[in-house]
Every structure is written in C-alpha cells, then in structure tokens.
Structure 1
Amino acid sequence: MELRLDGRTALITGGSRGLGRTMAETFAAAGASVAVVARDQAVLDDTLGALEAANPSAAHTAISADVRMADEIARAHAQAVATCGPIDILVNNSGTSNARPFLEITDEDWQEDLDLKLFSAIRLCRLCIPHMRSQGWGRIINTLNVGAKAASARTCPTSASRAAGLAMTKALASEFAPDGVLVNALVTGLLVTHQWRTRWEREGGYDTFDDFVAATGERIPAGRMGEAQEFANLALFLASDAASYVTGTAINIDGGLTPVV
C-alpha cells in the first residue's frame, strides 16, 4: 500500500532535526507541501534544502520561531499559510527531555516546559482546526513520550507536560471527529536521534556512538533502539487517508518498552 499526501499541507514543529526532520522529509516525499518550525535558522535552511530535493514541485518553508511564545506561534502559522497554503496536517513535535528530581524544579522550569510542549500544541490546534473543520478533513499528530502513560521517578516536568498532551489528544479527538478532524498521539520510547548523540558526547563511557546505541537498546524488549524513519512511517500512515477511522489513540512506538498499552 502506497501512502500519499498529494495536495496536502503539513506544519511540523521541532521540524529541523531528529524525528521532526525525518517526518518532514517523509511527508514531502509522499507529495505534501511542508512547513517546518524550529529555532536554529542554519539547521532550518539545511532541512529546507532536503525538503525541496524530496519534492521539488511543492511549496515548502522553514520558519525560525520560538514556539513557547504565543505571538511567535501566530507569526509562524501565518507565514506557513502564506507560503504553503492552509494547514491540513499539524504535527506538534516540539520539545526535548527535561527530566530531573522534583525538588530541583522551579516554577520557571515548570512554566517553560508547559509552554514548549503543551501550550504550543494548544495554540497551534486553535489556529489550524478552523480550516480543517471547514473542509471536513484534518489530521493532528501529537508527539509524546512513554512518561505520558507511565511516569517514573525524576521525570518531571516532562512526564506531566506529556500526560496533559495525552489527555488533550483524547478530548480533541472526541470533539472534532464529527468534523472529519482526526487527532492522535505517537508515544515515543528510545529512538536514535541527535538528542541521543548529544547525550553520548556529553556523558561518554562508550568508544563509539554505535556502541552507546547498542548498549542502550539492551534494556528494550525488542533488543534495540528504534529508528527515526520507523517513527515517521507511522506518522505518515496517521496523516494519510488510510487512517480515516483512527482517532483518539496514543500509539506506543517503543519496541515494547512502555509497561502499559
């Protein structure tokens, strides 16, 4: 089965690296126009080049914006629409792990994490859903992590922010299903991205990154870490017409790591 997104426009936050970039390239190769939003313009420019190579016939844009800020989100959305057209597919993918001991987390830390991971998704959904409703078709995919379902010690504020995103996913799915707007979440486990390479460079302990990845994968039931492309393949399915009866789900893509379904 070939999954296509011809004629669709996608907006992906956190889209310049890792999972976001892989999704962006996968969506573009499937025929979509893609707008990616992140902060580092140099990395965004490189990503834009990859999108144009994947689908040179579509309009793409790479927008530098801080999605923690409401006015920046509004600007990014407006720029994406102006260049690529109204948003049919929204992927809320911004955020990184910010786990630490609870007593060390300040009010400012909590607010920053909520702004980055939860309020950015809230604000973009509010901007994108009216168009989706008007045309009777829309897809929203929220990137979460295993802490959203099964939080462990020292995982705040990330686990709390992601759990709120999980609840919002279900609430929006129930509210907008009659309008043809489908809302789902992908719950990530341990996937090989630039964040893990940065962690390996910071912590050391292994001669090569491949050794680090192999050792980390030993604690996963599948016996390995996942690949960004495996994540993007599932996102492409949810964004496509093939997933027309799938909404309100939070799918684990974790090699069996999460202790709950």
Structure 2
Amino acid sequence: MSAVSAASIIGFDENLKVPNRNDVYPTIDPKVHYDAQTFANKVVLITGSSRGIGAQIALQYARAGALLTLVARSQASLDESKDAILRERPSAQVLTFPADVRDVKKAEEIVTATVAHFGRLDILVANAGTLRPMDQPFASKDPTEWWNVLEVNVRGPYNFTHFAVPELLKTKGQVVFLNSAAAQVRVPNSSEYCTSKHAILRFAEFVTLEYPDIKVFSVHPGSVQTDMFDTFGGPIPPDSTIELAASTVQYLTSGKADYLSGRFVSSTWDLGEVERDWKEKIIAQNSLVSKLSLPV
C-alpha cells in the first residue's frame, strides 16, 4: 500500500457538489437497456476488456444486444471474458484480439478487422491503462517505467481513436475514455499517472472540438476494487462497485447525456442530480474541462 496519505493530495476537494453514489441507482439502471435492447446491432470495441471494469462493461453491453470486439494483452484472459459473456448470452457475437495498445499497427488492424466483420463501428471504449506504485518522487523512479505509463494511458487511447474516427463519423458514434480522479488532483509520487490522465482529458476535448459529430466522454469510474488497485494500492480506499462504472458508461453512450460530451464525468456523481441542478451552468460556463478559472 502507498505511503501517500489522502491529506497530501492537492485538489481532492475540488468536486461537483452533488450526492455521491457508490452503486447503481435509478437514473443509470442498466435494466432499461437490457429490456429495450438499446444497443442491438451496435458495434462496441473495448480495450482492456479481459478483466475488471473492462470485462464488466463488455458484459453489460452484451446484455443490451451489442456486438463486441474485445482487446487485451492476453488471449487466455480474453477467452475467459468471452466465455463469461457467452454463458449468459449464448447468441452474443464477440471478437477477441490480443494486443498491446501502444502498438499502432495492431490498433489499425483491429479497427479494420472489426469493421470488416461487423460492417461498422459505433462505440470505442478506451479502458486499458496502467500505473506504478506511489512510493517515490519522479526523479527516483526508472525513467523508462515512468514513461511507459504515458505510453499506455495516452498513446493507447490515441492509437485506437485515431483509426476509429473515420468509422465513428459514419455512425455518429461515441468514444469513452476511462479516466480517473487523478486527472484533476495532484497525488505525490504519482506524477506519471496523474499527468497521463490529465492529458487524456484534454485529448477528449480536442476530439470533440475537431469532430463534433462524435460524442466523447472522459469518465472517472470511482475507486473500484480491481486487480490493478490491489497491486498498486492508493491513498483512497475503494468506494464504488464495478457495476456503477459500467452502468455509467452505458448510460452516457445511450444518448441521454450528450451535453457532457468533451467533459470530465465521475461515476460517483448522481447524474440525475447533475442534469437537474447543474446542466445549464455546465453548458453556460463550459465547465468540467481543463482551464484556468478565477472567481469573478
């Protein structure tokens, strides 16, 4: 477990003032999408989808009728994720591709193969990510390992988005970047992770700016107990279920919150309350993006 304390984090109190949610709640209840088959014949490509949050996102899209492409480094773990989907939904169509998301050619091949097989691409969920132990300041860390976090967390999403955009323009599709509260806060000894997540938030803004027909969401999943969390720990204990994160992603890509495109969204926010009390202010002030802001 990290020696970093919650008290040492800068910006942790800078948050939207809405009720916190730790599990699925009525506004984002995925049963609506299961019953209506909201994503029937929609093609969803998910990186980092062999375990944890990515695997749960894949399962919930399958329950709602989606056609899936799953990407992760290990074929064996991809097979486990696919088998879990097929046990519950035997008619699901699932492609799997083992790949390192940093590999540009692999990203191109996977997007091309997905469209060749299914005929389209509707949603890209860039979930694959990594972090290092929060045990040393950056100058004490191996520089190659430090930079590798940027490679996985920024270059990986960029690679898949780059090749997905032409297809997403055809379908007026969506991109979800699994982000982190680390995009907004400064955690000592975690400069590589926080920098990578802040960068991907800004990249989401550029995708929205340059391709306004594509909706883009930068989503903090909450502090979820996953294998990565167990391996590296952190100063904030787990506070959210894996279903909350997956259901938030599904809700955002159902077209019910397009005003949040290009913005940071936390799964722990009650999105019903956000829409009711904050939507007009968010739009008017162009909030939930990276910018300098001073009190008037």
Shorter-chain TM band: 0.7 to 0.9
- How far apart are 1:244 and its partner, in Å? 4.0
Change in CA separation of 1:192 and 1:86 when aligned onto 2, cut-off 3 Å: same
Which letter maps to 2:226? T
Cα distance in 1, alignment partners of residues 236 and 183 from structure 2: 21
Give SS of 1:11's match: strand
- How far apart are 1:15 and its partner, in Å? 0.5
Which letter maps to 1:32? A
Query: 1:68–1:112: 8 Å Cα contact kept in structure 2?
Result: no
Cα distance in 1, alignment partners of residues 193 and 265 from structure 2: 18
Which letter maps to 1:11? L
Aligned partner of 2:166 among 111, 120, 130: 130
Give SS of 1:94's match: coil
Structure 2 matches for 1:218-237, cutoff 5 A? 225-237=239-251
- How far apart are 1:42 and its partner, in Å? 1.1
List alignment gaps of at least 5 residues for structure 2: 1-28, 271-286, 289-296
- How far apart are 1:79 and its partner, in Å? 2.9
Per the alignment, residue 171 of structure 1 pairs with 206
Per the alignment, residue 223 of structure 2 pairs with 190
Cα distance in 1, alignment partners of residues 86 and 117 from structure 2: 14
Change in CA separation of 1:121 and 1:196 when aligned onto 2, cut-off 3 Å: closer
Which letter maps to 2:141? I
Q: Which of 190-199 and 229-238 deviates more? A: 190-199
List alignment gaps of at least 5 residues for structure 1: 201-214, 218-223
- Deviations 1:121-173 (CA, angstroms, capped at 9, x unpaired): 111111111112123x1110001111111122111211111110010111212
Query: 2:174–2:253: 8 Å Cα contact kept in structure 1?
Result: yes
Cα distance in 2, alignment partners of residues 86 and 99 from structure 1: 39
Query: 2:40–2:65: 8 Å Cα contact kept in structure 1?
Result: yes
Q: TM (normalized to structure 2)?
A: 0.72
Q: What is the percentage of aligned positions where both structures have the same residue?
A: 26
Cα distance in 1, alignment partners of residues 196 and 67 from structure 2: 29
Structure 2 matches for 1:72-91, cutoff 5 A? 72-91=106-125
- Root-mean-square deviation (Å): 2.5
**Match status 1:63 vs 2:97:** yes
- How far apart are 1:216 and its partner, in Å? 6.3
- How far apart are 1:69 and its partner, in Å? 1.4
Higher relative contact order (CA 8 A, sep 6+): 2
Count, aligned residues: 236
Query: 1:34–1:84: 8 Å Cα contact kept in structure 2?
Result: no
Cα distance in 2, alignment partners of residues 145 and 244 from structure 1: 20
Q: TM (normalized to structure 1)?
A: 0.81
Cα distance in 1, alignment partners of residues 255 and 90 from structure 2: 23
Cα distance in 2, alignment partners of residues 106 and 130 from structure 1: 37
